[in-house]
Amino acid sequence: GAVVSQHPSRVICKSGTSVKIECRSLDFQATTMFWYRQFPKQSLMLMATSNEGSKATYEQGVEKDKFLINHASLTLSTLTVASAHPEDSSFYICSALLAGQETQYFGPGTRLLVL
């Protein structure tokens, strides 16, 4: 149980395009999901906390107009990288929180490459 999926697993796009990444909790409901960014050989950097039915809470330094988060249901959160640029290339990982618990279950990640 507690499986989290992400789609797509890998995306290559041209500079200036927008990219949407989906995060789904497959076998449980997640009122809270988190979005992380990870550069090569570095730790996970929390970008934002996504709560179902409300606006996401962004960490300091993360542009909310560039990284648009929508948590429309208890099993789906999306991250849209608006007008992506090469510096946005990274590994984006989501996690989902089991309701009433502290345990975060992570998705497999999405590799974004902006040319």
Binding site residues, another protein, CB under 8 A: 4, 6, 32, 34, 41-44, 46, 49, 93, 97, 102-109, 111
Q: Name the minimum Å distance from CB 62 to another protein.
A: 13
Q: How far is the CB of 71 from another protein (least distance, A)?
A: 14
Q: Which is nearer to another protein, 14 or 103 (CB)?
A: 103
Least distance (Å) between residue 97 CB and another protein: 6
Nearer to another protein among residue 67 and residue 105 (C-beta)? 105
Given a contact cutoff of 8 angstroms between Cβ atoms, the answer to whether 48 and 101 are in contact is: no
Half-sphere exposure of 33 (CA within 13 A, CB side): 35
Q: Which is nearer to another protein, 75 or 110 (CB)?
A: 110
Whole-number minimum distance, CB 82 to another protein, in Å?
A: 23
Determine contact, residues 112/90, Cβ cutoff 8 Å: yes
Write out the two tokens for 83.
Answer: 């007008």
Q: Is the CB of 14 or the CB of 27 nearer to another protein?
A: 27
On the CB side of 1, CA atoms within 13 Å amount to 6
